[in-house]
Structure 1
Amino acid sequence: MKKSLKRLLVSAALTTGLAASAAQAQERVFFGIATGGTGGTYYPLGGMLAQVISNNSQLADKKLSATAETGNASVANAGLLGRGSIESAFVAADVLDAAYKGKNQFKNKPITNLRALGALYPETVQLVAQPDIGKFEDLKGLSVSSGSPGSGQWQLLGGLLSSYGMTRDDISEDYSSFSQSADKIKDGNLDASLITAGSPTASLVELSNGHDISIVPLNGPAVDKLLKKQPYYAKTVLPAGTYKGMDKDVETIAVRAIWATHADLSDDVAYAVTKALYENTDTLAKVHVKGKEISLETALESVSIPLHPGAERYYREKGLIK
């Protein structure tokens, strides 16, 4: 009887332990962040943000476990959110606005379940080219990469060409990614590429370290004309020394990146991840210089779509929304 009782107690303990382990596993809530290609800024910052969320978020008695995933940047990320295929994503402000309102590349196809968590940092438009190319007009007749057709960057190139009195027929258009464009420029198989990302951009740092490049200015009356049509872009300066061989400041434009989600994300999760981001910006700043430009004070800049209620609750607590 004693042996039988002992076996029963051991069995009960094992069963209880297994049940507790199973219950513990069920209490983990997974949260994905769609970023961009490995050669841009979205990816490294997304990876660190995932760590910040995993290490600093608690959802009642559940554990938030975040992961960053490579993606095809803003337009594709907006589509992922619209389908509910991922919990959150980084999207440029102009693309997010167009997606929600059904404009431009989303014409007559609005994604109305999009919600904002908060603004991140300005993404700099960098026209990188072979060293003998000094101004936008020099691109006529040359090969230029604009990224995926229909992307925000592809649309921006079209707008720039129009502002400079040119069309897509005036260039040989290439659709390579950031990293692919950098490799093609290095190998002499591409003349220029439009890259919109936080600076310094990893693929351009690597390129400039082994190859002479030109960062072409985007300024003057043509750019002023563009900004009137696309108000989400603003003038900015890429500082001298951003890339090897860049010995003077370069005038260009930038658009703010937004961290977005969809309406079906729970309020508690949205609150927890928003709080994790804006209360741990010092950690993000250690990963990339653009992390230093993420702050609670600018969390609502360029946000033109509805906030997620969970994020809104956090901003009300902090006094950003009355």
Structure 2
Amino acid sequence: MKLKTVLLTAALSAGLVAGAVQAQERVFFGIATGGTGGTYYPLGGMLAQVISNNADIEGKKLSATAETGNASVANASLLGRESIESAFVAADILDAAYNGRNQFEGKAMKNLRALGALYPETVQLIAQEGITSFNDLEGKSISSGSPGSGQWQLLGDLLAAHGMSRDSVTEDYSSFSQSAEKIKDGNLDASLITAGSPTSSLVELTNSHTVNVIPLSGAAIKELQKTQPYYASTILPAGTYKGIDKDVETIAVRAIWATHSGLSDEIAYAVTKALYENTETLGKVHVKGKEITLERALESVSIPLHPGAERYYREKGIID
């Protein structure tokens, strides 16, 4: 009887040890995205799944998770502190963080590295029916996201370009989903939302409430683009949202998948490969996933590439 007990104990111990070894064979990899009402979050979730299903390093499986975040400025700061392995960051914010400009004045994050470009994020200025132009916003309430965020910075730039200031409007700091709800309830006049279109929170809003998408074009925008070259002119196509039956001229900035210099070359190579060799899967989750291509992987990338990602691009002939 004692022998059986000893053998059982030994077997259980061996099982626990084997389980611990198996647990050590998984390498965890985080992706900071954005709020649930934007595009970062659903694409980040599918990217995490793609990595988990396709990436491994030296026989160890990569286990990726997408985490909700406060978008570009907060995500860049997370990377600067090396508090997460990767994050989605708008190209202009990533450049400012690396070089210590604008919100990052005196706080340059030289450890930031790029993995690759994703898709263009469309600047969508959504407003109540009576507002048809940017100048109509004077004296109105508008949400621009958290103070210091990329959205907040953009609103200031747009106001200045149109000869206005922050004192010209009443600012609200709600998230995409919160601002959509406030517009629907009549508690907010407008919201500035930069995200891949269609944006889920706006789909829900326009399905039950009539809004205008305000054009961002003309002389004021051309002046803005001289100081903010990352903002490219684009079109929000008719039919993107219910009730939007005409093309709307606006601007867009590309989203970048970024990391930090502390990430190993092996992991950076594996996740970059997993992304660009499984773009069709991402396209099934969101229409913007179809715009992620290897050919445009370095578009709007102005900071150094991570050596692991660079190795992948060299193998594919994207860089010499």
TM-score grouping bracket, smaller chain normalisation? over 0.9
Please state if 1:220 is matched with 2:218. Answer: yes
Q: Which digits, 9 at most, give the CA deviation of each residue in 1:128-151, with x for residues without a partner?
A: 000111111110111111111111
| Inter-partner Cα distance in structure 1 for 2:298 and 2:161 | 30
TM-score for both structures, normalised by structure 2: 0.98
Shift of 1:14: 3.3
Matches within 5 A, 1:1-12: 9-12=7-10
Matches within 5 A, 1:13-32: 13-32=11-30
Residues 117-126 or 11-20, more deviating = 11-20
User: What is the DSSP-based 3-state SS (H/G/I as helix, E as strand, rest coil) of the residue aligned with 2:188?
Assistant: coil
Find the counterpart in structure 2 of residue 34 from structure 1.
32
Find the counterpart in structure 2 of residue 78 from structure 1.
76
Q: Which digits, 9 at most, give the CA deviation of each residue in 1:60-80, with x for residues without a partner?
A: 121110000000000000011
Please state if 1:229 is matched with 2:227. Answer: yes
Gaps of 5+ in 1: none
| Inter-partner Cα distance in structure 2 for 1:244 and 1:173 | 26
Find the counterpart in structure 2 of residue 263 from structure 1.
261
TM-score for both structures, normalised by structure 1: 0.97
Shift of 1:249: 0.2
Shift of 1:10: 4.5
| Inter-partner Cα distance in structure 2 for 1:270 and 1:311 | 6
Shift of 1:7: 5.4
User: What is the DSSP-based 3-state SS (H/G/I as helix, E as strand, rest coil) of the residue aligned with 2:290?
Assistant: helix
- What is the percent sequence identity of the aligned residues? 77
Please state if 1:179 is matched with 2:177. Answer: yes
Shift of 1:55: 0.6
| Inter-partner Cα distance in structure 1 for 2:15 and 2:178 | 51
Find the counterpart in structure 1 of residue 99 from structure 2.
101
Find the counterpart in structure 2 of residue 292 from structure 1.
290
Q: What's the RMSD between the two structures over aligned residues?
A: 1.1
| Inter-partner Cα distance in structure 1 for 2:300 and 2:71 | 18
Find the counterpart in structure 2 of residue 122 from structure 1.
120
Find the counterpart in structure 2 of residue 254 from structure 1.
252
Shift of 1:6: 5.8
2:114 counterpart letter in structure 1: A
Shift of 1:8: 5.0
| Inter-partner Cα distance in structure 2 for 1:133 and 1:142 | 9
Shift of 1:5: 6.0
Please state if 1:167 is matched with 2:178. Answer: no
| Inter-partner Cα distance in structure 1 for 2:174 and 2:5 | 65
Find the counterpart in structure 1 of residue 314 from structure 2.
316
2:299 counterpart letter in structure 1: E
* Counterpart pick for 1:149 among 147, 150, 159: 147
